[in-house]
Amino acid sequence: MFVKLAVAVVGGLLGCIYVVSKRPPSKVCGSPGGPPITSPRVRLADGRHLAYKEVGVPKETAKFKVIIIHGFASSKDIHLPISQELIEELQIYILSFDRAGYGESDPYPKRSVKSEAYDIQQLADNLQIGPKFYVIGISMGAYPVWSCLKYIPHRLSGASLVVPFVHYWWPCFPASLSKEALSLLLVQDQWAFRVAHYAPWLFNWWMTQKWFPSLSINEGNMAIFSEPDLEILKNAPETPSTDQEKIVQQGEYESLYRDVMVGYANWEFDPTDLQNPFPNNEGSVHIWQGLEDKIIPYSLNRYLSQKLPWIRYHEVPDAGHLLAFKRNFCEAIIRDLLLN
């Protein structure tokens, strides 16, 4: 009798967890009752659409063509403080886009690390920007750059990973180093990432339950920012300005939660498996890491740069996670990528 009762209780609990953790319905842009389509979009081979934004000089006359990949809770409208003078001096065309599920780009239930690279390739082809282009991935937007280096290196002129996402369960990291780096995060973030990695089917429940704090950045917890970051946030002209409601208008599950689950899934490759895409120095790959970054522990990106000596590693002493939103750092990132 006791065993039957225990089974019934456990079964009931699992059933409740399933109900609250299963994928909620999304509101696809352009569908009946869904958000309107207000941006230009391209249609991919599988029928999905990606929304995009073009700035800078016309692509037909540009000397450099750069694709910007936004991070967590961001969009194609990411505002990087690149001066018009620099754009005109170097003749730069800049393309940004909403990653799958964000903004006005269609959700993609089969989204993966690999699919991110091929989305970028199809976007570039549909817009006819040429056989090669540069990519800059910021924070969570850096894991698509790793994907590009793995799956479409022949399409790259160069790549920059800025305060890049790190996977605490990449096999290349010594267990002690990963454990130490993970312990530097807020406890609630440690648990959120563990759930995303070990039990992604439970992640929606974890992010929506009220018993324990979930992901700090999703709750607007300012404790994740260092002093240099807080200074940038106080500076209105250099502060990222995006419409948060529009970013997640198709549902937080399809944008934010799926992004974390994809990033912390088991990858098909390890960064240290990658080969130098520019063996003849015809391009370059960069990592930019702030030493005051409280979101991405610098020790892991420093370790990767040591294992991949063809990556040019830039460790910035007085910078945090938002270093790309400070003009002098942002323009240094652009110049180093395009000119060195």
List for the chain the helix, strand, coil content (%; round to 5).
Answer: 45, 15, 40
pLDDT tens profile 325-335: 999 999 999 99
Mean local confidence (pLDDT), 100-119: 98
pLDDT of residue 24: 66
Contact at 8 Å (CB) between 19 and 205? no
All residues at 6 or more sequence positions from 140 whose CB lies less than 8 Å from its CB, including other chains: 71, 72, 165, 259, 260, 263
At residue 136, does pLDDT exceed 70? yes
Q: What are phi and psi of 293, to 5 degrees?
A: -70, 120
Domains in the chain (CATH in brackets) are 30-339 (3.40.50.1820)
pTM: 0.92
For the four alpha carbons of 95, 100, 102 and 106, in that order, the dihedral sign comes to positive
Matching residue, tokens 């409740």: 16
Each residue of 80-112: b (16+ CB within 10 Å) or e? bbbeeebbeebebbbbbbbbbbbbbbbbbeebe
pLDDT band at 23 (very low <50, low <70, confident <90, very high): low
Neighbours of 146 (CB within 10 A): 25
% of the chain exceeding 90 in pLDDT: 85
Q: Is 6 a residue whose pLDDT tops 90?
A: no
Average of pLDDT values for 201-210?
A: 95
Tell me the two tokens of residue 316: 């910035």
pLDDT, averaged across the chain = 91
pLDDT computed for residue 241 by the predictor: 47
Length of the chain: 340
Mean pLDDT of 200-223: 90
Q: 224 vs 21, which has greater pLDDT?
A: 224
- Summarised one tens digit per residue, pLDDT across range 38-92 is 999 999 999 999 999 999 999 999 999 999 999 999 999 999 999 999 999 999 9
- In this predicted structure, which of 66-75, 88-97, 169-178, 221-230 has the lowest mean pLDDT? 221-230
Listed residue (67, 65, 71, 78) closest to 99, CA to CA: 71
Reported as type and span, the H/E element at residue 309 is: none
Distance between terminal CA atoms of the chain?
A: 73
Residue 18 has pLDDT above 50, yes or no: no
Res 340 pLDDT > 60: yes
